[in-house]
Structure 1
């Protein structure tokens, strides 16, 4: 395409596709007990003929449980598990004596055979069903040869990885058992910053560690979190999340699971992120049913359009092959060949304005709309092309293993 978009300093998102009003001296419970304005004035100017009658009172019971975190942990803790995985990795061992220079010096120029080594990892997870459905992060069990699931009571089970979805970093594991403790799923769609958040897991190998904090933000895009290849709108929390917490539950103050702890920012303190439970539930249902997840895919690279970006592109329009006239929207940088987007007629330089009738201004919003669409069914896209508005129909395909290809 000529000029690299890294030179522009931007990231290209790859779309693989009951209070009462107070009055002086008290308050009135209803209109029948409220005196008229004349009565109030009269009472202020003349002494009362009778001693004043006391106003009716009411009491409010406020539930305040100082041990709500402990109660939530007691409720969920037995269903939080430790996941130990092992995988065999083949490669050259970095041994100085295996250096080709030394081997030639000693008269041995035979090729060095690849060496095998075993890598171990530890993460967390939680039990969804009494018959052994467990959820964790995909990166916890990626490439694992063996998976051991350990319950809080010490019982160990060999786990079978039913499926993983690297696009959302969710994995499904099955263990053969019955009458297992389970978690209760909550709702993350109505979360607001400032609500309590509780994390349980096995950070740094320290089993059943509990940390607490608040919901710091919701709807963080994958680019903001630093994992642009994910299709997730993350929950941000300041509840401490460390290596080993991955795959464990994030709870609300009632002990309901609202997310899967998944990521930390190595360059910052107090920043942890979780996959919303609605996303995790949707993905795990597909994994347990089919062993894999199909994500809708268009085949475009896109960025958030800004006036600064517009000016940079227009200064070198011959290199990019198009000019931009708008200040905002979602700019298509490239339409990959032989993709649903290419077949529908989308072009480099198109600015996406709406997807299925919903106005969009960021690449993340476009990605959300596509992710919620159905593979093979029509998805309408309103774009601005050279100053003219056009509506195109795209039929999303299935996200390939390597969308860049």
Structure 2
């Protein structure tokens, strides 16, 4: 065979580029966790800019005609504060690694020029401006593994952004640019969302800036496990807003144009399902990142499941337990050397209350734990074999990977 090492590298490069070109946005903008690779980013398609009056009771087709509605009003108000974030990072060159094989080197010769060990990957995501002096919020996976990014505003201005903090546990990150008098978003409230309410998303799919779509709130309090990312610590908002790669980090708005969530991902195996991080969680994490550059998450070390008759049987069989209840929150497992283990919690316990507050779902427990601080003592009331007991558990810091 007369193929040279250089020719082989070219062929392999073409194969790599051909297979990776359409997937790069999701591969780069998503964390390396295999479960999270099943998710893609979120986005929307934007109406023309109109000079519109304030919406009347959030209804569509108000006095200005069909083109004037609450969507256009919200987009005009928030659009200027939505940015495009371009990030680059160095990754290992798979061709270089493959050609380190001594058999290949001997076959093709040692006199060929070495293939670079690293290559540059580029990706695009979204973000939005929190403060007039240049504080931005986005997804952690948008700016992962880079210290600086390029931030482009709707008016065309471009700034170098410094990544001020990244929290992979919640997929929230913050970026700072040197600018003043910037347009900002207005934060809303996601705590009382009801399925069926309007939801508007803005982002930069496929490099198409300020793209907008509309849908509804499909559900709230979706747990990380339900979404397919059990390593995250977020109760997601579910929406049916249309999605495309590149929208990660953009805002999810209510009918009044207030940010109620940060668009982050959808399941690749489902259609019409988008997810967003509640704005209260994102804003709290952003504040800690800007202040301290990192976030400590309280950690108990338990694996929970919401019971049903079928789920009860499954848990009992898989974990060799003897749970009798058909409803409630079961502790499936307790990690060794964890705060829960030291506090006395055991697999098979049914959680009744946390700090005196009754809980019915594992999502509620997760929220209560996450709203506490590392080192806080939590009173966990459980039903253990028909007997109600309370255990004092001092939370630890979520372990680093």
Tell me the TM-score normalised to structure 2 length.
0.78
Kindly state the Cα deviation for residue 306 of structure 1 after the two structures are TM-superposed.
3.2
Query: What is the 5 A alignment of 1:91-240?
Result: 91-93=93-95, 100-106=102-108, 108=110, 115-240=117-242
Kindly state the Cα deviation for residue 370 of structure 1 after the two structures are TM-superposed.
1.0
User: Aligned partners of 1:331 and 1:109: how far apart in 2?
Assistant: 64
Kindly state the Cα deviation for residue 301 of structure 1 after the two structures are TM-superposed.
2.1
User: Aligned partners of 2:299 and 2:224: how far apart in 1?
Assistant: 17
Deviation string 1:34-93 (CA, Å, 9 cap, x unpaired) is xxxxxxxxxxxxxxxxxxxxxxxxxxx978534221121111111110000001113432
User: Aligned partners of 2:311 and 2:91: how far apart in 1?
Assistant: 44
Mapped pair 1:67 → 2:69? yes
User: Aligned partners of 2:96 and 2:147: how far apart in 1?
Assistant: 23
Kindly state the Cα deviation for residue 241 of structure 1 after the two structures are TM-superposed.
2.1
2:58, 2:256 within 8 Å by CA — same for their partners in 1? no
Q: 1:228 to 1:213 in 2, by over 3 A?
A: same
Kindly state the Cα deviation for residue 179 of structure 1 after the two structures are TM-superposed.
0.8
SS of match in other structure, 2:131: coil
Kindly state the Cα deviation for residue 103 of structure 1 after the two structures are TM-superposed.
2.1
SS of match in other structure, 1:159: strand
SS of match in other structure, 1:348: coil
- Gapped runs of 5+ residues in structure 1? 1-60
User: Aligned partners of 2:368 and 2:203: how far apart in 1?
Assistant: 33
User: Aligned partners of 2:234 and 2:284: how far apart in 1?
Assistant: 12
Q: 1:305 to 1:252 in 2, by over 3 A?
A: closer
1:242, 1:264 within 8 Å by CA — same for their partners in 2? no
Kindly state the Cα deviation for residue 258 of structure 1 after the two structures are TM-superposed.
1.2
Mapped pair 1:279 → 2:271? no
User: Aligned partners of 1:78 and 1:201: how far apart in 2?
Assistant: 11
Kindly state the Cα deviation for residue 99 of structure 1 after the two structures are TM-superposed.
5.4
Mapped pair 1:350 → 2:313? no
User: Aligned partners of 2:222 and 2:393: how far apart in 1?
Assistant: 27
User: Aligned partners of 2:252 and 2:178: how far apart in 1?
Assistant: 25
Q: Alignment partner for residue 82 of structure 1, among 81, 84, 90?
A: 84
2:167, 2:294 within 8 Å by CA — same for their partners in 1? yes
Deviation string 1:140-164 (CA, Å, 9 cap, x unpaired) is 0011243000001111111111111
SS of match in other structure, 1:283: helix
User: Aligned partners of 1:137 and 1:193: how far apart in 2?
Assistant: 24
Aligned length: 339
Deviation string 1:92-111 (CA, Å, 9 cap, x unpaired) is 3268766544323346599x
SS of match in other structure, 1:164: strand
Q: 1:266 to 1:298 in 2, by over 3 A?
A: same
Q: 1:209 to 1:358 in 2, by over 3 A?
A: same
Mapped pair 1:253 → 2:255? yes
1:103, 1:109 within 8 Å by CA — same for their partners in 2? no
SS of match in other structure, 1:247: coil
